[in-house]
Each structure stands twice: as C-alpha cells, then as structure tokens.
Amino acid sequence: MIFYSTNKQSTPVSLKKATLEGLASDGGLYVPSAVPRLSSEEIELLREAPFNDIAFAIAKKFSDGEIPDSSLWEIIESCFTFKTPLIELKKNIFVEELFHGPTLAFKDYGARFLAHLTGYFAKEDQKLITILVATSGDTGSAVAYGFKGVPNTRVILLYPSGKVSRLQEQQLTTVGGNVTALEISGDFDDCQRLVKQAFMDGELKQRLSLTSANSINISRLIPQTFYYAWGALHIALRHPGNKAVFSVPSGNYGNLTGGVVAKMMGFPIEHFVAGSNANDSVTRYLEEGRYEPRPTVATLSTAMDVGNPSNFARLKHFYNEDHRAMAADITGCSVSNQETLDTIRSVYDRFGYIADPHTAVGFRAMERFNEEHQTPRHPSVVISTAHPAKFLESIREALDMEITIPDRLQDVLDRKKVSVPMSCDYRDFADYLSKL
C-alpha cells in the first residue's frame, strides 16, 4: 500500500518508509492512498474471532504484502498479550477497557505495535533509529516500555514539566537503557512543536535517522483500529442488528481517528462522540465549522490537554475537508473539570465502577449525547483509556477514598526519577540532539 502526506507536497511512500520517517518531508501526516475496506463476508468471518485474528486481518490490509504473513503474525502475537474487556454496566451501556497492557493505558496498543514494526524494519536496514516522542502523559510511558530493549532503537521522550501526574512522570523517567526523558519547561504543544521542528531539520533528521512514535506516525494509528473493530463486532453479537456508538476521550485525536478508519473499513459502527476538556478546538469546529486552536489549558484529564491536535489534519483528509460530513459522523462535547469530578462520583454511585478522569470525560459526553438522541437508541461504548490508579489525586478528590495501586505501578513509584531539564527553545533541543 502507498501512503501520502496530508500536505500533498512530498513523494508517496511505502509502509516501511512512512513508519521510519514518522512525519512526511513536507510536514504533513501520512495517510493511506485509500482506506482498505473489508467485504461483508470478511467481516462475518471475524464476527466471533479472537482479538489477535481481527488485528492481523486489519494489519494485513495495510501491509498489503510488504511484511510476510508469518512475520506480521509474530508481531501481532508479541504485542497483544493482554485482554481487552468489554463490560456492560447496564443495558446498552458498555465500557471498553484499554488499560490492561504493561503501562495501564490505551497507548500500549499503538506503542507496542509501532515498536515491534520499527524493530523489524530497523533490523532489515541494520541501522540505529532515533525515536522522538512528545507526550502529555501516557504516550511516553507506553512508547518507553514498548521500545525498551528493542535492538537498533533509542527513544527521546519530551514531556511538559509539572503537567503530568506523578505516576505518569515516574513511568516516563525510570525506564533507562535506550530511553531518555527530557523535562520541557512548557506545555504539550511546546513539546510537539519541538519534535516537528526537528523533523523539518533535514540534516539532523538524516544523520540521526529520526522517526516519531507519536500518533502522527501512521503505524501508531493502524493498531488503534483494532480495538474499535473488536468492540463493534462484540456489540453486534450481543445486540444483533444494532451498531455501536463510541464515546472517545479526545486530546490529540489519534484515538478517535483510529475509530473513524475502522468505520470506513466496514466495521459496524454507527457514530462517534468526541469528549474533550477545556481544550475544545475540535469540538468547536464540529459545532461551528471553524477551526481556531487556542493555547493549551491545564485540566484534570491531563493527557487530553492539547490545544492544536495533530490528527485533526487526518480527520479533515478522511472527510475530504467537508465539515458537514465530519459532523454527521462525530458529535463533539466539552466537559469541565467539575463535571469530570461529578461524573467520577456519579459513575461510582450508580455502577460501582471507578473511572479515571479521561474515561469520566467520555462518560459525560456519552450521557449528553444520549440525552439529546433518545431514538433510535444504539448501544453506547465508552472508551476507557487509563487505569484510575494513575490519577490518585482526582479519584481521592471525587470519591474521598483510596484505591489499590497495582504492583507494577507501585514498583515504578519506588524508583529514582531521571530526567534532563530543558527549555522550550528549539536551539537548545537541536543542540542536545546534535551531540547524540
């Protein structure tokens, strides 16, 4: 399969080149020349299939023979060794838990797939690949653990100082080995800007063989279709003739874009609700048709604190720049900090379920959508993106209780933080990279 830049000013490339480049040379994001569609017969064969079979079927469409089936299956089997539970809280209300991977966040799906794919391609070329990652929280730790020990790779994480939870910071800064954390004096948009500027620095990019593990990388996006396909097929099994409405906590919009691609591939999805926090540039676009990014605002749902989401470029591409078409598929909903805390409390009181702040945003957005669209009533699936133990302060404030911290997180808390403080001036960042 061939991949093009959303800016349409660079040469089309293979999956390998798109993965190893991360960002196109013209600054655009890679997208497939056409979203591969599965026939109704292919969908039917996957209806009761295990998660990894569904993942393989989708990945094979995008690989299109570039990776041998046996190698692709080994990658899938190595990546997804954990469960993806779909929990019914009450009739027609589900939670799809995506936090059962190594770092207890949904980013494990994309990061592990990308790490194994990058390792596969790097081994072919026998060269050292440098991975740059801007993170607002969970992306960095998922990438760090995904790439840890992968031959021919080194990872540089950029995270905003003081703007991630303590557990997230500990996960980012205690991996060691081939992973280095840079603590940036700024916000997530500053981190993302530094990474993009490095990719536009031709000499630096070529010398270090730079690539990205952010959701700007097409091989982070592809595996995000897997869990939407899985969830949609299971909903169809439980509710024959009904398609799912997915409510997605949205920050950089890679998660939502993965769902959109799964829908375009033919999986039974009715609609999306994009829950945002105060960083609501896409929500306002969906409502008004004007895209006006604003500076990032700090909120309780820290991983969604993105003022100018990169993946909005992909969304516009997939909907042919048509606001009406996008708004027909996606309803935006902005949720305040107070609503987030109230929803954590409400969900626990009603269902005995503890939701982290991001999942709470998804819950509240779904509730608003259902209040406004009573008929027809489709099964609602809230995408749960992180284990609540990663946000102890918010859970304590909302529920006035302590929750058990999983052993793998407690172990991280006991380690010594190791990070490199850095300004958000690109000259300082470029100077650091030039000395690697």
Helix, strand, or coil (residue 244)? strand
Is the residue at 280 inside a domain?
yes
For position 264, what pLDDT does the model report? 98
For position 376, what pLDDT does the model report? 56
Residue 405 DSSP one-character state = P
**Largest Cα–Cα separation, the chain:** 61
Please measure the distance between the N-terminal and C-terminal CA atoms of the chain and give it in whole angstroms: 34
Is the residue at 16 inside a domain?
no
Q: How confident is the model at residue 52 (pLDDT cuts 50, 70, 90)?
A: very high
Q: What is the DSSP secondary-structure string of 278-334?
A: S--HHHHHHHHS----------SSGGG--SS-TTHHHHHHHTTT-HHHHHHHEEEEE
- Determine the average pLDDT of the residues in 286-292: 95
For position 431, what pLDDT does the model report? 96
For position 39, what pLDDT does the model report? 95
Distance CA 166, CA 59 (A): 35
Contact 46, 53 (CB under 8 A): yes
Is 8 catalytic? The answer is no
Give the percent of the chain with pLDDT over 70: 99
Q: How confident is the model at residue 180 (pLDDT cuts 50, 70, 90)?
A: very high
What does DSSP say about strands 380-384 and 93-97: parallel, antiparallel, or unpaired?
parallel
For position 151, what pLDDT does the model report? 87
CATH number, position 329? 3.40.50.1100
Phi, psi dihedrals of residue 371, rounded to the nearest 5°:
-65, -35
Tell me the pLDDT of the chain averaged across its residues.
93
Catalytic annotation, pick one of 107, 163, 263, 390: 107
Q: How confident is the model at residue 373 (pLDDT cuts 50, 70, 90)?
A: confident
Residue that is written with structure tokens 């409400």 in the block: 346
Beta-ladder partners of 210:
130
Number of folded domains that form the chain: 1
- Determine the average pLDDT of the residues in 117-125: 90
The model's pLDDT over 126-166, given as tens digits with 9 standing for 90+, comes to: 889 999 999 877 788 888 899 998 888 999 999 999 988 88
Distance CA 330, CA 259 (A): 11
Distance CA 91, CA 384 (A): 18
- Determine the average pLDDT of the residues in 77-86: 96
Distance CA 88, CA 377 (A): 16
Q: How confident is the model at residue 196 (pLDDT cuts 50, 70, 90)?
A: confident
For position 430, what pLDDT does the model report? 95
Is the residue at 8 inside a domain?
no
Distance CA 366, CA 273 (A): 7
For position 164, what pLDDT does the model report? 86
Is the residue at 298 inside a domain?
yes
Beta-ladder partners of 145:
none
Is the residue at 55 inside a domain?
no
**Ramachandran area for residue 137 (φ above 0: left; ψ -120 to 50: alpha; else beta):** left
- Determine the average pLDDT of the residues in 305-327: 95
Is the residue at 315 inside a domain?
yes
Is the residue at 155 inside a domain?
no
* pLDDT exceeds cutoff 60 at 125: yes
For position 375, what pLDDT does the model report? 54
C-beta pairs of 405-414 under 8 Å, 24+ apart in sequence: 406/104, 408/102, 408/104, 409/104, 409/167, 409/171, 412/167, 412/170, 412/171, 412/174, 413/166, 413/167, 413/170
Is the residue at 116 inside a domain?
no
* Residue 280, both tokens: 């609501």
* pLDDT exceeds cutoff 60 at 22: yes
For position 127, what pLDDT does the model report? 85
Contact 103, 145 (CB under 8 A): yes
Contact 243, 235 (CB under 8 A): yes
* pLDDT exceeds cutoff 60 at 123: yes
Q: How confident is the model at residue 285 (pLDDT cuts 50, 70, 90)?
A: very high
Sign of CA dihedral 415, 418, 424, 430: negative
For position 382, what pLDDT does the model report? 98
- Determine the average pLDDT of the residues in 232-243: 91
Residue 386 DSSP one-character state = B
Distance CA 37, CA 288 (A): 31
Domain that holds residue 313: 71-105+221-399
- Determine the average pLDDT of the residues in 267-296: 96
SS (H, E, C) 340-368: HHHHHHHHHHHHCCCCCHHHHHHHHHHHH
Distance CA 56, CA 58 (A): 5
Phi, psi dihedrals of residue 95, rounded to the nearest 5°:
-120, 125
Distance CA 364, CA 335 (A): 7
Which of the two residues, 167 and 364, has the higher pLDDT score? Answer: 364
For 118, 226, 430, the CA distances from 60, given in Å and listed in that order, are: 16, 12, 37
- Determine the average pLDDT of the residues in 68-81: 97
- Determine the average pLDDT of the residues in 246-254: 95
